[in-house]
Structure 1
Amino acid sequence: MPRTLILGSTSPYRRELLGRLRLPFEVVSPAVDETPRPGEAPADLARRLALAKAHAVAARQPDAVVIGSDQVADLGGEPLGKPGDHARATEQLRRMRGRSVVFQTAVAVVCHATGFEQLDLAPVRVAFRDLTDAEIEAYLRAEQPYDCAGSARSEGLGIALLDAIESDDPTALVGLPLIRTCRLLRAAGLLVP
């Protein structure tokens, strides 16, 4: 009997991305504390949280195959998470303007019943334009990306903030690297078209 697939996330972006695979899945909130540890590197934070989210849900549903994912913007080694409000989003974008930022997107797949656990990281290098304060304000008023790492919603108006994107997994910037996710789901024994 095929195992239930669960996305351990409250992100509507990840839900939409996983839906592209046309696999039946459920969504369960992982309820994980996303506070960075002192001195924790952005990539390490993303990996730790992706795995924690998958395990938090798998602990409640051990027979399911669970996907956990997390994204952290890496500004010169400093983690930038979700801003939460307008003032913090403004500050993040001012700091990123004219700079290169690496969005570290981790994905984990876990099944407690089979002992399966794999984790992968999809870094995406993004070059931000040298944004004016007026451009930042107009973008934030239009998009309100307060639930996006680094305040950048690239699948919307945020694409206009950028000069370039470098990635081998194009959906990673939106929040779920589908190429890597498919690879992990196949390794877990799921049939992915």
Structure 2
Amino acid sequence: MNKLILASSSVYRRALLDTLQLPYECISPDIDESARPGESAETLVRRLALEKAQAVARHTPNALVIGSDQVAVLDGDIIGKPLTHDKARAQLLRASGRSVRFVTGLCLLNSNSRHSQVDAIDFQVHFRTLTEQQINRYLEREQPYQCAGSFKSEGLGIALFERLEGDDPNSLIGLPLIRLVRMLENAGVQVL
């Protein structure tokens, strides 16, 4: 088997990949993650997942490289990581009582053949109607400033939701494992 590499520095993606119980390495890609003018969420995450995998594959022969990227979309606007308390508060206030679509790009790239499998996976989050006090209490407790959408669904963020809708809850955390297992099998890696 080719070595498996996760092209990411995300502790969340690493924790998800650990669940597959496959040996792998992590290498952080160094790419510009800016959206291009007029680029749709799907096009953006597919491109960035592929570029992350390509950046790592250039320096790692005999590898299957996993790239992933995620954005949140509200009213057609791409919203990213808030990075600050005030921006996270604004994102959650805007999302209160509404639905936010998360689009996760996934790529599996063979560094030898340069063959890639690329997909974009949707997941809908339907938020409860939240008060400013609830939002502030949540942000003080979990501080999800590095998370698209300003929450951690695997933590206390679950209390913000009315319901979740999608095929793979892992895609909400940033690595769609159901689709990844199929990609790995297509590349000759049997997870089970």
**Range of TM-score over shorter length:** over 0.9
Displacement of 1:94 in angstroms is 1.1
Displacement of 1:88 in angstroms is 1.1
- Rounded Cα–Cα distance in structure 1 between residues aligned with 2:118 and 2:38: 21
- Rounded Cα–Cα distance in structure 1 between residues aligned with 2:41 and 2:92: 17
Show the counterpart of 2:54. Answer: 55
Displacement of 1:47 in angstroms is 1.3
- Rounded Cα–Cα distance in structure 1 between residues aligned with 2:76 and 2:61: 35
Displacement of 1:33 in angstroms is 1.4
Maintained 8 Å contact 1:116/1:188: no
- Rounded Cα–Cα distance in structure 2 between residues aligned with 1:167 and 1:151: 19
- Rounded Cα–Cα distance in structure 2 between residues aligned with 1:162 and 1:32: 33
Show the 5 A alignment for 1:103-182. 103-182=102-181
Maintained 8 Å contact 1:41/1:78: no
Q: Provide structure 1 residue ranges, at least 5 long, that are not aligned to the other structure.
A: none
Q: Percent identity?
A: 53
Show the counterpart of 2:8. Answer: 9
Show the counterpart of 2:66. Answer: 67
Maintained 8 Å contact 1:109/1:117: yes
Please state whether the residue corresponding to 1:165 is helix, strand or coil.
Answer: strand
Displacement of 1:151 in angstroms is 0.7
Which AA in structure 2 matches 1:150?
G
Show the counterpart of 2:80. Answer: 81
Compute the RMSD of aligned alpha carbons: 1.0
Which AA in structure 2 matches 1:29?
S
Displacement of 1:11 in angstroms is 0.6
Show the counterpart of 1:32. Answer: 31
- Rounded Cα–Cα distance in structure 1 between residues aligned with 2:136 and 2:85: 9
Please state whether the residue corresponding to 2:83 is helix, strand or coil.
Answer: coil
Show the counterpart of 2:184. Answer: 185
Please state whether the residue corresponding to 1:121 is helix, strand or coil.
Answer: strand
Q: Provide structure 2 residue ranges, at least 5 long, that are not aligned to the other structure.
A: none
Displacement of 1:191 in angstroms is 2.1
